Chains A and B, each alone.
Chain A
């Protein structure tokens, strides 16, 4: 299997603090990689460096073999790298359908062709399909801001999948979601993964969610990778238990 994402020797410092310290890993096609670690271990900084939201001090990021370090998030997204956010990031005053059309419209044609094109950019049916896939059909005309927190989380994930991405990075998808909705979200992510052989990277605190979803897990502590393996291996690894329960 080829690597969709390769991260090599990535380092990011903020003043005197090294948030990500010489991290290297790769994500293979079709896998669901979990990245776990205590608070402040550098997970989100790592994500933001990979996604072009932060510029790393050192190291390189490659997507399908192409160097993307320092690329703007919008260009990276159009290369097929998509993400969800830790805190809710939908457009509350657009309808659910418009949120999804927006997530796909920049992936086709030029800026000018979008101006003279159809109002829904030809994405209406695709948006409805995605809405149905995430079981939100009854809400497609509602403003996104009127949805419950869990429904907005589903919408957030749907938006990340809308353009048929090569790689999706999910930043704490389970955060603040109740158990029923969590099961729902996991079920949808797994179904999408099975249908499209999609590649995911998931940052998560909720261990059960990671263990049930991921095929491989990386453990980050103080900016470094301290363990790697299958969910079963990680659960039993004394170094990981120390990092989480020590201090």
Chain B
């Protein structure tokens, strides 16, 4: 990462810490939602942006994580244990969902994962004995950790921001390891990767499992944040929304999900003044953005920074992978 990038990240971190002191409770709720969605989008960025596996199932994993935590904590299990279980459960299910990815690619894989999302939605809605069906689960308590209650909006934000920081740092570290290089190889040329000794099967499954696990952990924060969950929150719409965050932010850029989730959380709120037209405006804005910068906002920022710094012509390949940098 160059100096400009480091300055931008540090500035963003300061804003993230200071911002809640200037916000009303609803504003704090929104930025808490941003941290939660960012975690889920980081997971999808790993699967899609780095390893190149298209997935429309990330929303379903958020749902599995949320239900796991809601049901376990209401059954009396401690929250930290339920949190870990949500991650592990989604890791295992993600690993299994990775198997189709070994046989199909691109839009076919999108269909497989789309079917999975629909399946999870139907289970959440129909298996009333477990999930309470369409009535959902309410009264989900915010956790108390080592005597620190996160019941207040600000406390919960601090907790979820902390979780985001730890999970993002872990992902960053993993992407800098030889695994990150292997994931990019999987995306760019799986056949060549295989001929260089890369066990592409294991890396593909691992990319799915870890990405899904981050989705589950996001869900484990989502449940106590909103305190009421129901199946329709985790239907296809959420998966598409997470996909949008990854693409708009910049797929394959480490900080892409942070930017994409911010847009996805804030833009609908800002557009509320347009009342009934906000979805139309939102959709149009996204379409224009994608036409102008297919590599996402960070791709655009990078092109701009390069133009200013070097006055070189823009590169042909729009993506630049963070892992390769020392």
Q: Which listed residue, A73, A85, A92, A95, touches B188 by the CB 8 Å rule?
A: A92
Assess the A102–B196 pair: CB atoms within 8 A.
yes
Assess the A115–B198 pair: CB atoms within 8 A.
no
* Given A91-B192, A102-B185, A145-B317: A114 in contact with B179 (beta carbons within 8 A): yes
A1 at the interface (CB under 8 A from B): no
Within 8 A of B (CB), among A67-111: 72-74, 77-78, 82-83, 85, 89-95, 98, 101-103, 105-107, 111
Assess the A94–B321 pair: CB atoms within 8 A.
yes
Q: B interface, how many residues as a size bin?
A: 20 to 34
Binds A, one of B63-71, B82-90, B170-178: B170-178
Contact code string B201-228 (vs A, CB < 8 Å = 1, else 0): 0100010000000000000000000000
Contact code string B183-197 (vs A, CB < 8 Å = 1, else 0): 011001101111111
* Given A93-B321, A94-B321, A143-B317: A159 in contact with B177 (beta carbons within 8 A): no
Kindly state the separation between the CA atoms of A78 and B198 in the bound complex, as whole angstroms.
9
A246 at the interface (CB under 8 A from B): no
Q: Which listed residue, A77, A91, A107, A115, touches B185 by the CB 8 Å rule?
A: A91
Chain B residue at minimal CB-CB distance from A121: B178
CB neighbours (8 Å) of A77 from chain B are 194-197
Q: Which listed residue, B174, B181, B316, touches A101 by the CB 8 Å rule?
A: B181
Q: Which listed residue, B181, B315, B319, B320, touches A102 by the CB 8 Å rule?
A: B181
CB neighbours (8 Å) of B192 from chain A are 85, 89-91
Contact code string B143-157 (vs A, CB < 8 Å = 1, else 0): 000000000000000
A163 at the interface (CB under 8 A from B): yes
CB neighbours (8 Å) of A98 from chain B are 181, 324
CB neighbours (8 Å) of A117 from chain B are 177-178
Kindly state the separation between the CA atoms of A107 and B189 in the bound complex, as whole angstroms.
19
Assess the B197–A78 pair: CB atoms within 8 A.
yes
CB neighbours (8 Å) of B196 from chain A are 74, 77, 82, 102-103, 106, 159, 163
Contact code string A161-188 (vs B, CB < 8 Å = 1, else 0): 0010000000000000000000000000
B182 at the interface (CB under 8 A from A): yes
Chain A residue at minimal CB-CB distance from B181: A102
CB neighbours (8 Å) of B127 from chain A are none
Assess the B176–A105 pair: CB atoms within 8 A.
no
By DSSP majority rule, is chain B's interface helix, strand, loop, or mixed?
A: helix
Assess the B199–A111 pair: CB atoms within 8 A.
yes
* Given A91-B189, A93-B188, A93-B319: A73 in contact with B181 (beta carbons within 8 A): no
* Given A72-B194, A103-B196: A94 in contact with B177 (beta carbons within 8 A): no
A119-B177, A146-B315 are known; give 15 further A-B pairs, CB within 8 A: A73-B194, A83-B195, A89-B189, A91-B192, A93-B184, A93-B188, A94-B181, A94-B321, A101-B178, A103-B196, A105-B181, A111-B206, A115-B179, A121-B178, A145-B316
Q: Report which A residues bind B (CB closer than 8 A).
A: 51, 53, 72-74, 77-78, 82-83, 85, 89-95, 98, 101-103, 105-107, 111, 114-117, 119-121, 143, 145-146, 159, 163
Nearest 9 interchain pairs by C-beta: A106-B197, A77-B197, A89-B192, A114-B178, A105-B178, A73-B194, A121-B178, A91-B188, A78-B197
Some 29 contacts from A to B, beta carbons below 8 A apart, are A51-B195, A53-B191, A53-B195, A73-B194, A74-B198, A78-B197, A85-B195, A89-B192, A89-B195, A91-B184, A91-B189, A92-B188, A92-B317, A93-B317, A93-B324, A94-B321, A98-B181, A102-B196, A105-B178, A105-B181, A106-B196, A106-B198, A116-B177, A117-B177, A117-B178, A120-B178, A143-B320, A159-B196, A163-B196
